[in-house]
Chain A
Amino acid sequence: MGADHAEINRHVRIYLMVFASLLVLTGLTVAAWKWGPAAVGPTIAVALLIAIVKASLVALFFMHLSAEKRLIYWVLALTVAFFLALLFLPILTASNAITL
């Protein structure tokens, strides 16, 4: 017996909406790069913000994280903590905050 067809059809409708959103956001990424702020700082901020929104949509809906079990959330929370620590190291180094 397959999974509930009505439930899967509901999923499919959501997938198509997410797909459309991702295409719009990709266009927005290119538009912001072409016609957005000239300064490097704001350009990076806008591009990364759009990328984070796109990645969240993929993770929440395509990877089913919007309705996942608690164990997965714990695994991911730990991963995000270590990932941020990894990114923070070069920033610390560049800001010369580490002194001996």
Chain B
Amino acid sequence: MSGTTGTGPVGGGAPAAPSGIPGAAPLLVVDDLSTTFSSPRGKVRAVDGVSLSLERGRTLGIVGESGSGKSVLSRSIMGLLPRSTAERTGSILFGGNDLTTFGDTEYRRLWGTEMAMIFQDPMTALNPVMKVGHQITESLRHHLDMDKATAKETAVELLRSVRIPEPEKRYSTYPHEMSGGMRQRVVIAVALACGPKLLFADEPTTALDVTVQAQVLDLLGVQQRERYMAMVLVTHDLGVVAGRADQIAVMYAGRIVEQAPTRSLFADMKMPYTEALLSAIPKLGDPPHTRLAAIGGRPPDLVNPPAGCPFAPRCPYARDRCREERPELRAVAGDPEHLFACHYPVDSPETLETKDRLAVEALMAGAPHLADRPAGPATAEGTHGR
């Protein structure tokens, strides 16, 4: 990422952001957004110079580990962070307005009708003492000024459209009477109620079983197509976004470290972190007891980020330059939509040489596993906060 210099993908001179529909202006243009929290230990830059853009009808997948800033990024755009401790710089253009200048009053006009969010835990996202129908009609009555009867009719239709069986009956039940998958459908119905143009789904299926996850993701895809919404799908699982996002941004330590249309990302990975995230997933095709390629260590302390590339301390291919000089986000030669921030991408001669050396070393040591131990002394990672 471009740090604070503002030369992100939509900044001046940088490659043009990928566009879904030729000629259509993007619905959301984030330029050099940084979100900083004040903490007793100092400033924490949770989002660091992020630039991206998104058109209606398109899905952006944001992928990263816990603490990579992916959730803070979506909450920054949604204006859901406490203004007393979270400071935003840069610009967030949404339908022509700069949201960084918006206060709660202005945001309240956007929430529900223009942008909405689906949260990870459907039990805490719903009000436990309010019938689910009422939770949908509440926003319909407030934002769209519907009368009671129309609101109820619309709510039942919404429940039906998110494939809740017997929607008339379900309208009058409480969240605790439903399964996790059903609750998440209700949360989706609440989010869709006022027809938002932009939908954030923050780990929408992490709390659900695989079978239900597949149902809910299918449902989100259908609703997005029917309503022509822009969607931001935040997840830690590259598998979830692979078949469902048009483009993917991989975040690390508050920055975008690789961003590309989904197919180019998987076909031609540049950033060692993206590669490591993908290799860490156990593969169904591998025989049992296959040693997994874990990423040693943990993300850096954002109060005192390392001087060079933030991934360098955990990167098996890091060289001296990586520890000293922060790599800027740049485009792949011949593919202006594919951006990455790495001095020695996975297909560079230097990294290929390191890979060969590591493979030989592993063979010599008789150990088929590479980086499956914490990078540094384990205690160093366990003592954050000191």
| Binding partners A and B | no
B residues whose Cβ falls under 8 Å from a Cβ of A: none
A residues whose Cβ falls under 8 Å from a Cβ of B: none
